[in-house]
Amino acid sequence: MSTENQNTQVAEIKKDISVQVLAKIEQFQQAGELRLPDDYSPENALKSAYLILSETKNASGKFALEFCSKESIANALLKMVVWGLSPMKKQCDFIMYGDKLDCSIEYTGNIALAKRFGGLKDIKPRAVFEGDDFAFEVDPETGRNKLIKHSQTLASMGSKKVIGAYAILDMEDGSRDMEIMSIEQIKDSWNQGAMKGNSPAHKNFPDQMAMKTVINRACKPLIRTSNDAVLFNGDDDIDGERTIDVVAENVKHEIKENANKEELGFKDISDAVEYEEIPAEEVKQPEPIAEHSGPNF
């Protein structure tokens, strides 16, 4: 059988994974082991995920549905549904590393989860530029940050000299809070990612990327302390940057493949999508791998 026919056969085998994952989700729901939001359609999410995965490929041009293991694809799809997120709305992304696929939450997904589980009503992020008239204080009684003044000009906004970012959180109970980060804190967060803050998006749109980072930090405590905090029980990072080095993982996989000279086999789908086997730890925000250079903000 030719390589092309083998790849086509593998893709066909994996084509029904979304159907099998949906069946597993329905099984969990019938057993009372999983509750999904009333306004969330797992069918739509899985169909859109399959369309996206059909076009997702790594730096070597290998397509996810042909290259990634069947169990990792199933687990990534199940993660997405358990979180109740939509890839079409850019609430999550699918990342390839080695022969594995992972579902990673975007900042928009964190906002959705904070609204769904953490009592968030609205969030407004702003970047602070060099030359802005900016002042805040900490309420000695509540410990919450409070914005005193922030005025800026077109000249300061166009300078790209970001010195910080903040987000104002309006809660459903009527309270208000403010998350603030200096540029040093923001860069420390960026350094947790594989690109170390050196991607085209970070260089060309530092204000947008800074606001994404402060949004992630603001939303994480709301999600963690909610009744569904099990969705985020990891504590290795709270700023939404991904620590998986995709390039390094790909190299490790190639070395392993060259050493073994064996084709990877696929496990049965039932082994791949057992609910208790799905990692529930916090998934860190990946560096953008999209072909465009601007952020989806």
Closest CA to 186 of 128, 133, 144: 128
Report helix, strand or coil for 171: strand
Q: Please give the pLDDT value at position 240.
A: 52
In the chain, the DSSP E strands lie at: 92-97, 100-105, 120-129, 133-138, 145-151, 162-171, 176-182
What's the Cα-to-Cα distance from 226 to each of 35, 61, 113, 246, rounded to whole Å?
15, 40, 10, 31
d(Cα 106, Cα 93) in Å, to the nearest integer? 7
Find all residues with CB under 8 Å of 251, minimum gap 6, and list them: none
Q: Please give the pLDDT value at position 131.
A: 94
* Residue linked to tokens 């000695």: 140
Q: Please give the pLDDT value at position 102.
A: 93
d(Cα 156, Cα 297) in Å, to the nearest integer? 20
d(Cα 226, Cα 142) in Å, to the nearest integer? 20
Closest CA to 58 of 67, 50, 48: 67
- Tell how strand 162-171 and strand 120-129 pair up: antiparallel
d(Cα 174, Cα 75) in Å, to the nearest integer? 38
Q: Please give the pLDDT value at position 192.
A: 86
Q: Which residues of the chain have pLDDT under 70?
A: 1-15, 228-297
* Residue linked to tokens 């493949």: 257
Q: Please give the pLDDT value at position 3.
A: 53
Which residue type sits at 27?
Answer: Q
Cβ-defined contacts of 13-16 (< 8 Å, 24+): 13/70, 13/266, 14/65, 14/66, 14/70, 14/73, 15/50, 15/65
Q: Please give the pLDDT value at position 229.
A: 47
CA angle 272, 273, 276 (to 5 degrees): 110
Q: Under a CB-based contact definition with an 8 Å cutoff, are residues 228 and 222 in contact?
A: no
Q: Please give the pLDDT value at position 11.
A: 52
Q: Under a CB-based contact definition with an 8 Å cutoff, are residues 217 and 179 in contact?
A: yes
Q: Please give the pLDDT value at position 8.
A: 56
Q: Which residues of 162-196 are buried (b: 16+ CB within 10 A; e: fewer)?
A: bbbbbbbbebeeeeebbbbbebebbbebbebbbbe
Q: Please give the pLDDT value at position 9.
A: 52
pTM score, whole prediction: 0.73
What six digits make up the tokens of 215? 């949004």
Domain boundaries in the chain? 3-109+236-277, 111-224
Which residue type sits at 233?
Answer: N
